[in-house]
Structure 1
């Protein structure tokens, strides 16, 4: 009889171990969803990554991109961004600074200057993709607050618009500071 009791106790222990492993996996998934800062070395950044957002501005940019993607006012990827610029849409262009080869996005700063659209570089394409609500790394994002779809109205859009305007002012200051130094 003791052998049956031993088997049952072993079975219970095994089930408890499996439950413990599942709980650990769930906590690791939560950790992945949280904002994790990705460190990029200076050598990995492209030489044209100027102006580069600093930590405080970077946080505001990510917040703006997240709110804009929820409001469906974001263009993701080179193809969509180029199409938007050619059609004359206005907004803020955010480029990833760690794109290789550089030829993929090298024409975008010139196009945005010609269209008088402010642009800024962020260090990581992974963080940019994360902020724009995609699982994939994204090379560039254009936030277009006056897009075709004006579905959301109220406090959320006003809050997002204020944050967007604040970020655009800071990016414009950065552009002029670098141009005159």
Structure 2
């Protein structure tokens, strides 16, 4: 499976399985799973906290390349999964999903805590530091 250039940190097979399980459990609760680019961006603007899950095989990457920078600014842990198709299936749809925000809920709190601990909050890679610096310089 081909993943794009910005899909770092890519979840390991074990973490991806836990992420899909978390998405599946959160999809049963109406307002605890934000799906789609517009809804996720609105949730970030409103300072909603959660775990961001992004698909790694999205093309063109310009569609969602700004999301990791927003996550770093708002200190939201995030991870890339290898497949947008699997991400969509875990959310209960037949359509692929490119970005999801899972908010905490008491029914899956233990799994949520484990996944948020294993996900990367603010990676220290040079590319992400440059992206964050670029985003900060664009603020008025």
TM, length-normalised to structure 1: 0.65
Higher-RCO chain (CA-CA 8 Å, sequence separation at least 6): 2
Over residues 28-51 of structure 1, what are the superposed CA-to-partner deviations in whole Å (9 max), with x where a residue is unaligned?
xxxxxxxxxxxx1xxx21100000
The runs of at least 4 consecutive aligned structure 1 residues that moved more than 3 Å come to: none
Structure 1 stretches lacking a partner, 5+ long: 1-39, 147-156
Equivalences for 1:1-181 in 2 at 5 Å?
40=1, 44-72=2-30, 73-145=32-104, 157-158=106-107, 160-172=108-120, 179=124
Which residue of structure 2 lines up, in the alignment, with residue 9 of structure 1?
Answer: none
**Residue 180 of structure 1, CA deviation:** 6.7
- Aligned partner of residue 118 in structure 2, secondary structure: helix
Larger radius of gyration: 1
Over residues 50-95 of structure 1, what are the superposed CA-to-partner deviations in whole Å (9 max), with x where a residue is unaligned?
0000111111111101001112210011111000000100000000
Mapped partners of 1:93, 1:180: distance in 2: 18
Structure 2 stretches lacking a partner, 5+ long: 127-140
- Aligned Cα RMSD in Å? 1.7
Q: 1:179 to 1:68 in 2, by over 3 A?
A: same
**Residue 179 of structure 1, CA deviation:** 2.4
TM, length-normalised to structure 2: 0.84
Mapped partners of 1:180, 1:123: distance in 2: 20
Query: How many residues are matched?
Result: 125
Over residues 117-172 of structure 1, what are the superposed CA-to-partner deviations in whole Å (9 max), with x where a residue is unaligned?
011000110000001111110010000126xxxxxxxxxx34x1100001111114
Mapped partners of 2:67, 2:114: distance in 1: 23
